[in-house]
Amino acid sequence: MVKEVNRHLTDFKDQLAVYFKFFKDHPDLMKLFLNAGLEGELLNQQTKFLKELINYSQPNLKLPPYAISYQSGGIYMLLVWWVGHDYQKPINELLSYIENHIVINN
């Protein structure tokens, strides 16, 4: 799946836009996950995918594993916050914030 994502979307911000847009287009899905108590599993799966995505798209980047976990947690909690506020903030505003605060360099 990571290869497929990178084949069509090479920019990390574009990849995140698709991720956030998916949940905006399916507003009840994340609410169902959260109400079912799946927060931890969702975060673990997102972190695993983010690690694969970064390793594939930036093979020379040598971030320690905890750095990816930390950043994944921030992205995830921003998504949870956004869902809890009924997707009122524009995706681009959230993505700009992420882009300014995430570390995708050594």
- pTM of the model as a whole: 0.81
| pLDDT the model gives residue 57 | 74
Boundaries of every domain in the chain: 2-101
Q: Give the Å distances, CA to CA, from 101 to 3, 29, 98.
A: 25, 27, 5
For the cut 50, the answer to whether the pLDDT of residue 5 exceeds it is no
Measured CA to CA, the distance from residue 5 to residue 105 in angstroms comes to 20
pLDDT tens, 8-45? 556 777 888 888 999 999 989 988 998 999 999 999 99
For residue 14, the tally of other CB atoms under 10 A from its CB is 13
pLDDT tens, 90-100? 999 999 999 88
